[in-house]
Every structure is written in structure tokens, then in C-alpha cells.
Amino acid sequence: MQKIDVDDLISLVRNYNPKTNEDALRRAYAYGERMHEGQFRQSGEPYFMHPVSVAAILTEMRLDDATIITALLHDTIEDTKSTYSELVEMFGTDVAELVDGVTKLTNLQLSSSETRQAENFRKLFMAMSKDLRVILVKLADRLHNMRTIRSMRHEKQVQKARETMDIYAPLAGRMGMQWMREELEDLAFRVLNPEGRNSIIRRFITLQRETGDVIHRITQDIRTELAREGIEADVFGRAKKPYAIWRKMQEKGQGFSRLSDIYGFRVITTSEPDCYRVLGAIHRRWRSVPGRFKDYISQPKSNGYRSIHTTVSGRDGKRVEVQIRTRQMHEVAEAGVAAHWSYRDGVRAENPFAVDPAKWLAALNESFANAEDHDEFLENVKLEMYADQVFCFSPKGEVVKLPKGATPLDYAYAIHTRIGDSCVGAKVDHLRVPLWTRLKNGQSVEIITAEGQRPQATWLDIVVTGRAKAAIRRSLREEDRERFIKLGRELARVAFEHVGKKATDKALKTAARRLGLDNAAEVLARLGSAELRAGEVVEALYPDLSIEKGEEVSAERAVVGLSPEQRFTRAACCQPVPGERIVGITYRGRGVVVHAIDCPALAELENQPERWIDLHWHSGKHPAAHTVTLNVTIRNDAGVLGRICTLIGEQKANISDLHFADRKPDFYRLLIDTDLRDVEHLHTVMTALEAESDVAEIHRDRDVSRKP
């Protein structure tokens, strides 16, 4: 690679900024060269060639002196004895802050594990929020590294290429720097799938040999049409990048020979009205392809991109995409958000279409503001960076921007969280559609709401925007929490009554403090969700009265009051569990059968007092080995039975048998054998099931006809 000396670099800057601070550039060049002296890249060339090349890339975007100087020095703090304070002294705080920001980004491992990656993405966006030029230098740094990646060992190439494809290329695209996105993708594609890329190139060569120079012919055709209309414009044509073609083949499931729109053309006009005149001339000359027209002039993208896109059937029936824009729009299309810093003739270019980076970042960060954990944040970032946009209209004609693949639910949440939460239906172009319908450009969307409607868990599979997903998850958490608190309050009441106490608010607050929880509501919520046992709450306040004192009691010695040679079984009719008052009845050849004291079967044994034995349960924690049959009536609907079984499992109870006692078109009645620890555990399970909206009725099944 030919070395770019300081005069070459200054010349590149002076081309767009004659008022550049030549002295500062020379000092930065000399300082960087001195700091990196003796360092070499893996290719064997002097290391300083890399920062100079990064600076040269940034001159193509006509960036300010501070950014160019930052590029020259971006590795000095990281790789040399240079310090932040030295940079402040020599080049000012602005440059030193930028270099420090790039250094911190370099240290982020964006392709690491999911949680770490999400945490580092947060840091990346924080750095962007501070000064977007940090990302511009980092993207140029990555572009030059990808251009020279072949000198790295293969494993390193693959890692860098994957990181580029997953993170840096989409980020460049999201910033509006489409040319950089395409080049980064293609350079990564060369590493990740060299055979696929080479096959595309070979087919291109074959196509050109068969059809000749299609680009030149179509370009001339467009120029002829525009001349006939008296429109002044520049026309450029190009074949799309190999990776763009490969991706389109994968998306459409088509081979290269069936892929039509592999050529792209740009028409650069002198005024906005001329853009529409060009569109009319092209559509009069060639047949437009339905569904392939987008007007980003009347509805600009959030990164400032403006252009008209249309696809037409050109020469020999081949589809070609044409982009039409003014010169100023083209500058923003090339530089994206970076156009804000572009210079021309020594002053900041006053491009009316350049987006204010602060506003752009505010809009971007709003998408991530509701993320409550690392995984959610990472999901939001990737959705935001990868998504193309569609523009939909409200019934009043207001425009709502959504990512490609968005649904009416996404639209509802984009309007307001309250609208999304209460959504029960939608109309698209005045026709009722399912909520999972994918919206298209230009459609009018009307949301139908109903009071009392709440988000459903299935909605998470329907929506694609981070904002909608975060709002649905938050609502589901709140709804579950309310249910768990209600359930926990009942469980606490029973547990406290078991030891002769009351579960007052003061008692629960004290228990929360002793358990290290925030408040009484948190204690109740954890009780209801089975994250905390009622016995633990009682023990926190009354250690001597705890219902869980002592070691776990084995099922064989669960009952106290039997002689050593006596064995016992639980009566099938009443199925007593630890915590209930019990009595033993002796049976010849069967030992002792344990009944609950209120078992109806005992009535016929009242005149045989010699068979009665006074028993009680062993104190301590019992295993979940005591089966109780629950009689449950549930709604006959998809997924209800699964939810009931899951709910029982969530209470740490096991289903040992399940029998359908009655089947009706709208309801099922089930007998569910559940293995439980004690009466408190039984009450926990029954209360949890009773709180479920799909459970119509539940009671403990006690059947005298079952043999004791």
C-alpha cells in the first residue's frame, strides 16, 4: 500500500476545507508517527500507516479537523506511552476526549457472551451520546482493518468479520452511511463465505459476457429520456455488491438466473421538483413494478435520508432499481448523520437535510429507554439497527414510522402504551385484520380498544419493536405481581393462624426487613410465586414457633403415637396430610389406618373405641409425599390444561395421576392426584388454582366409597 505522507493528507483535507489548520494536522501527524515508531502491523508495514489510512477515509466524508486529528491519534493512548493529559496539552480537550472515547470503544468486546455483549452495547451507545464522531472514527478504523484483514490469522479474520457483519455494518446503515455498510458487509462476506461470494462474481462475469455492458446501455437510455424532457441531471449505474445479491437470493429463495434487480441506478437532480419530473419520465418510458415504490422525500428516514426509490422493467424485461434525489440529498445519503460535520470551502456545510446528531441519538435512545435488563436492551438495539422502515398513517393522516415486519400491535404501542395495552383489534385500510398482520408502506391503520383489556403473553410473539415488547413484559409482570400478592396474603394468613398469630401489615413489614426484602408487598409476591415458603416468613418472626423447625421427616416416621412394631397407611377416603388433626384406626392384618379427625367414615366406628389410637403428626418439615386428590373444573380451551399443570408445578407440587371425570363442550372436570408436603402446601396449591381465571371450581375430593 502506498504511504500517504502529511502533504498528501493535508491536500485531501484542503480539497473541501481550504481553511484547515495545517499546523495542527502536521503536529498530529508527526506526534502519531513518533509514538508508533518501531511498531508494525501483521502485514509487516509500519503501524502508523493504519491511522493515516483511517484519517484518509474520513476525509472522504469531509469531516472537521478535530475528527481527522483524532483518526491520526486514535491508537496512541491504547498502544503507546502517550497519555490523555499529554493530548490535552498538545491538541486540546476536544481531541483528547475523542481519542479517549475511541480507546474505550476499542476495548469493548462486542462479540462476547450475550450479557457482556449487552452491557458493552450500553457503553457503546453512551459513547455515541457523548460525541457521535467517536463512532465515525471507529467505523473508519473498522473499514480499514477489514480492507487489510488478510494479514490476520484465519480465526481472527472470522471473529472480526462476524463482529463486522453483526454490529458495525448495521450501525453504519442505521447512521445513514449506506456505502460504508455495503462495503463492510461485502468485506465480511469475503471472509465468512468466500465460495458464495466467488460464485456471485463468476456469474456476473458470465452475465456480462452474454449481455454486454447493460449498465452503460440503461444509463444512456435514462439520459436520453431526461434530455427529451429537458431535465438536467447526472445518471450513474452500478451492479449491486455480491453480498447484497446473495442476501436477496437467500430471502427470495431464488437462484442468480431468476434474480432480476441486480443493477441499481441513481439520478442526481438540481431541485426537488425535478425529482418528481424524473420519476414521471421514467414511469412513462418503462413499466413500474407494483409494490416497489418508496417516497423518502415526502417521508424522510430518521437519519435524514431522502430519495425516491422505484423499480421498473427496463431493457429486455430486466428489473432495475432507480433512486432519484437532489445533490444535497445525495450528500446526506452518502454521509448519513456524519453530514452534520461536513465542511465545504472552510465552513460547516449548511445542508438542510443533515440530521442533528443530538436529536437522532435522542430518538434512538428512546427505543432503548424501557429495557429493564441486559437481554432486553440487546434485543432492542439489534431490532433498531437491523430494521428497514415502513411508514403507516393514522386515521387523521399522521405518519408513524415502524420497522419492516411490524404489526398493528407495534403500531398501537408506537402511538401510546395505553393504546397498546387495551388493543383488541385493528383495521388496515378500513378492513378488519388479525393483530399479527405485517404492515406495508402507506397503509392506514386504525386501532380498536376496549376497557379492561390487558396484554396477553402471546403478544410477545406478534410484535417486533423493542418498545412494544418492553411494554407487554412490564404489564405482564405487574399483572402477575398483583395475582401473586393476593395469593401470598392468603397463604400468610393461614401460616400465621397455624401458629396462633395474625399476619398484620406490621408483622409482614418486620418479616420483610429480617428477610432482606424491600417491603411487605415483596414478601407477599414471593409467597404467591412460591419463591418463598410461608414457614420461612413465620420463622423470621417467631423462630420458636416455626412450622418448619427441625430436620425433614421421612414419610415412614411421619406419625407419632404408634408402637415400634406398628405400621400405618393413610386413609384413601380422607387423605390426611401433616398439619391436620388425625386419629388412627386399627385393622386386623393391615396395621393402623390414619384418618383426618373430620373424616365422615369415622361415624360408623364410634361404637368401637378400642380400635381408636390417639395420633399426631411428627413436628418438622415433611417431604412432598402425601397424595391428595383435587377435584378441578376447568374451561375447555386450548392450552388451559397445560397452564393448570404448570401452575401446580410452580407451587413445587408433583402430579402423580390425572383422570377426566366429566367432559362437556365448554368445561372439563378433572381428578388430579397431587403429592404434597402438608396442609399449608395443600392450601397454597388450591389457592393458586382458585385464582386462575380458567378454573371454574376446585375442592378437595373426599370420597367415603374409597376403601380406608
Which residues are annotated as catalytic? 78-79
Residue 344 region by backbone torsions, left for phi larger than 0, else alpha for psi between -120 and 50, else beta: beta
Name the one residue in this structure whose C-alpha cell is 424522510: 300
Q: How crowded is the C-beta side of 649, counted as CA atoms within 13 Å?
A: 6
3-state helix, strand, coil in the chain (%, to 5): 50, 15, 30
Please give the Cα distance from 44 to 150 (Å, whole number): 12
Rg (CA), the chain: 36
Task: Lay out the sheet containing 591-596: strands in order across.
Answer: 568-570, 591-596, 582-587, 612-614
C-alpha cell at position 448? 380498536
Between helices 679-691 and 534-541, what is the axis angle to 10°?
A: 120
Cross-strand pairs, 670: 632, 660
Q: How many CB atoms within 10 Å of residue 259?
A: 17
Among candidate residues 444, 440, 457, the one with its CA nearest the CA of residue 406:
440
Three-state secondary-structure class, residue 225 = helix
Strand-pair category, 319-326 with 263-269: parallel
Q: DSSP string of 557-588?
A: G-EES--TT--EEE-TTT---TTS-EEEEEET
Contact yes or no for 270/233 (Cβ under 8 A): yes
Among candidate residues 59, 219, 226, the one with its CA nearest the CA of residue 136:
59
Q: Which long-range contacts (CB under 8 A, 24 or more apart) does 541-548 make?
A: 541/501, 541/507, 541/510, 541/511, 541/514, 542/499, 542/501, 545/499, 545/500, 545/501, 546/499, 547/495, 547/498, 547/499, 547/579, 547/678, 547/680, 548/620, 548/621
Contact yes or no for 340/356 (Cβ under 8 A): yes
Three-state secondary-structure class, residue 292 = coil
Name the one residue in this structure whose C-alpha cell is 486514535: 74
Q: How many CB atoms within 10 Å of residue 410?
A: 26
Measured CA to CA in angstroms, residue 336 lies from 64, 174, 293, 356, 390 at distances of 15, 9, 22, 11, 19
Q: For residue 404, count CB atoms less than 10 angstroms from its CB and return exposed for 0-12, middle for 13-18, buried for 19 or more.
A: middle
What is the longest distance spanned by two Cα atoms in the chain? 118
Query: Measured between alpha carbons, how far apart are the two ends of the chain, in Å?
Result: 93
Task: Quote the distance between the C-alpha of residue 306 and its chain's center.
Answer: 28
Please give the Cα distance from 399 to 578 (Å, whole number): 64
Among candidate residues 341, 334, 305, the one with its CA nearest the CA of residue 134:
341
